């Protein structure tokens, strides 16, 4: 047995054990991208670095065997910086988006590519579940959203953007009235939402989803706030607002009309409710008299009162309905944190790799998994399915389990730090029935090479070329379907990035 210390913890393990496994034996987590149990330890990512305290030397924990008397650090500033730099070097030639540009551009951060894929399969019931995770009022937004997502759609590099907004409306028309979002268990808490415009209705929806009781207060005799203007202008039918309100009421929303805000009833509301969200749409004399200090988006829509939150045009005139809706969602998130006794802080988006504008050649690569043809008018389910099939699937297939993305988030990596010259041109290989290969996402870890060899694949994959030009490919100019006949799924699951992924 060998005795050593990692982060001042005494450890005793068998001779031949790696530092990585020794650390794991006492609950110390060390990240790694190129390590996999059962495969050779040949460090390439250098993310698993630890420091020898006596010499100050850095070493890869996945390939370094324990030595009697070792004293190592796995968490100090030098180790953090070394790992961060390793991740940034990997990102320097990584060509791929984590999130699709359309989702990043959506103020509500709706998973547009996933919605499109469900529609393309004809699964409208699944599509509405994806939409309603972020968009409280899809039927309304389908009429009045200015569609910032479509302005950045990569399909524009080919012909015309995918008709995302109308697809969202079609999903609502096809499925929304039969779908009620699942609500969390009742919390016993009550929230008051003041104002029934887009922001207020969105806040109410998300409060109800969190399991809190919710009552909506509106000073007018009708609901909708500025949505009534859209109805009067003929931009949206009245029945659309009515259907969205019916769903909110079925979820438990209670409504008080003809209830203007005053200092007196505001204080009464605060006494009766555990949290208040103000979404009145403008700063009126009543609001001014409340002596509230509005903090805004960066400060999680807090006010100077811990139980009061504010969103929408009350903070700043919102010309985009989807932005008001997004603020209502975030204000509800902050109110929920407050009610749960958690620290109230703004939502932070996870690290997102971006590679920029598509070249003409790259656009053709993306077209490999979409249908050609210009933007279609949508008048039926069949039209929606056809239009959704134009989506280029710009998001990464491993968006939720990419080790490179996880490490980039952990170490707050700067993806541009080591960018130099022109990037490699993105390529996609679909010549396998179950996996997709994107070589510009490969970190040359060799796991797929070894897995194929261990499982006696006749061809397998190998490294071709040397130095910076080396890439993982199939030898003898054969395609991936010949190379991985038994191990495709194993290789895809082992791949630390989206280079190899299941279709």
Percentage of the chain exceeding pLDDT 90: 84
Q: What SS3 class is residue 214?
A: strand
How high is the mean pLDDT of the chain? Answer: 94
Q: So what's the pLDDT on residue 284? A: 72
Rg, Å, the chain Cα set? 27
Q: What SS3 class is residue 328?
A: helix
Q: Per-residue pLDDT for 476 more than 80?
A: no
Q: In sequence order, what DSSP letters do the residues of 102-162 get, joined into one string?
A: HHHH-TT---HHHHHHHHHTT-HHHHHHHHHHH-S-HHHHHHH---HHHHT-GGGGTSS--
CB 309 within 8 A of CB 335: yes
Instruction: Tell me the C-alpha distance between 31 and 148, whole Å.
Output: 37
Return the CATH architecture of domain 190-339.
Answer: 3-Layer(bba) Sandwich (3.50)
Instruction: Tell me the C-alpha distance between 84 and 88, whole Å.
Output: 6
Residues of the chain with CATH 3.10.20.740: 2-89
Q: Which of 149, 158, 159, 161 lies closest to 101, judged by CA?
A: 149
Q: How many CB atoms lie within 10 A of CB 51?
A: 19
Q: So what's the pLDDT on residue 90? A: 95
Question: What pLDDT band is residue 413 in, cutting at 50, 70 and 90?
Answer: very high
Residues of the chain with CATH 3.50.50.60: 190-339
pLDDT in tens, 279-320: 998 777 678 888 889 998 899 999 999 999 999 998 998 999
The end-to-end CA distance of the chain, in Å, is 46
Percentage of the chain exceeding pLDDT 70: 100
Q: Per-residue pLDDT for 499 more than 90?
A: yes
Q: Which of 192-206, 393-407, 417-431 has the lowest mean pLDDT?
A: 417-431
Q: What is the mean pLDDT of residues 397-417?
A: 95
Task: Indicate the CATH number for domain 2-89.
Answer: 3.10.20.740
Instruction: Tell me the C-alpha distance between 20 and 101, whole Å.
Output: 37
Q: What is the mean pLDDT of residues 324-348?
A: 97
Q: So what's the pLDDT on residue 412? A: 96
Task: Indicate the CATH number for domain 424-502.
Answer: 3.30.70.20
Residues of the chain with CATH 3.30.70.20: 424-502
> CB burial class (10 A; 0-12, 13-18, 19+) of residue 244?
buried
Torsion angles phi and psi, residue 477, rounded to 5: 60, 25
Q: Per-residue pLDDT for 477 more than 90?
A: no
Q: Per-residue pLDDT for 353 more than 80?
A: yes
């Amino acid at each position: 047995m060998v005795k050593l210390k990692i982060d001042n913890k005494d450890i005793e393990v068998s001779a031949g054990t790696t530092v990585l496994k020794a650390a794991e034996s006492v609950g110390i987590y060390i990240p790694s991208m190129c390590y996999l149990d059962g495969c050779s330890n040949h460090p390439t990512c250098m993310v698993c670095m630890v420091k020898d305290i006596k010499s100050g030397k850095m070493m890869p924990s996945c390939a370094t065997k324990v030595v009697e008397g070792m004293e190592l650090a796995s968490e100090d500033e030098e180790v953090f910086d070394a790992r961060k730099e390793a991740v940034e070097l990997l990102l320097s030639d990584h060509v791929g988006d984590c999130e699709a540009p359309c989702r990043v551009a959506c103020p509500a951060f709706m998973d547009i590519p996933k919605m499109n894929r469900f529609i393309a399969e004809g699964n409208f019931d699944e599509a509405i579940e994806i939409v309603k995770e972020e968009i409280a009022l899809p039927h309304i937004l389908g009429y009045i959203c200015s569609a910032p997502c479509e302005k950045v759609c990569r399909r524009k590099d080919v012909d015309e953007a995918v008709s995302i907004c109308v697809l969202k409306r079609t999903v609502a028309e096809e499925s929304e009235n039969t779908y009620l979002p699942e609500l969390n268990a009742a919390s016993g808490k009550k929230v008051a939402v003041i104002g029934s415009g887009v922001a207020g209705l969105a806040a109410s929806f998300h409060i109800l989803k969190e399991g809190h009781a919710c009552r909506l207060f509106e000073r007018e005799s009708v609901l909708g706030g500025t949505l009534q203007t859209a109805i009067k202008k003929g931009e949206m039918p009245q029945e659309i607002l009515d259907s969205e309100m019916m769903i909110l009421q079925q979820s438990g929303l209670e409504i008080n009309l003809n209830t203007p805000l005053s200092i007196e009833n505001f204080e009464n509301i605060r006494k009766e409710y555990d949290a208040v969200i103000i979404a009145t749409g403008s700063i009126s004399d009543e609001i001014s008299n409340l002596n509230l200090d509005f903090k805004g988006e960066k400060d999680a829509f807090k006010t100077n009162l811990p139980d009061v939150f504010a969103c929408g045009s009350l903070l700043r005139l919102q010309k985009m309905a989807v932005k008001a809706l997004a603020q209502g969602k975030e204000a509800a998130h902050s109110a929920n944190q407050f009610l749960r006794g958690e620290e109230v802080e703004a939502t932070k988006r996870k690290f997102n790799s971006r590679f920029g504008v598509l070249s003409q050649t790259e656009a053709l690569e993306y077209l490999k998994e979409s249908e050609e043809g210009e933007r279609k008018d949508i008048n039926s389910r069949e039209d929606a399915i056809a239009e959704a099939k134009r989506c280029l699937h710009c998001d990464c297939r491993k968006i939720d389990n990419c080790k490179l993305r996880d490490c980039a988030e952990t170490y707050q990596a700067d993806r541009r730090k080591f960018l130099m010259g022109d990037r490699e041109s993105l390529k996609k290989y679909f010549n396998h029935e179950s996996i997709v290969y994107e070589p510009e996402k490969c970190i040359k870890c060799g796991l797929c090479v070894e897995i194929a060899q261990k499982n006696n694949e006749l061809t397998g994959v190998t490294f071709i070329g040397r130095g910076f030009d080396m890439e993982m490919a199939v030898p003898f100019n054969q395609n991936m379907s010949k190379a991985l006949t038994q191990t495709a799924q194993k290789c895809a699951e082992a791949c630390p990035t989206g280079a190899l992924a299941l279709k």
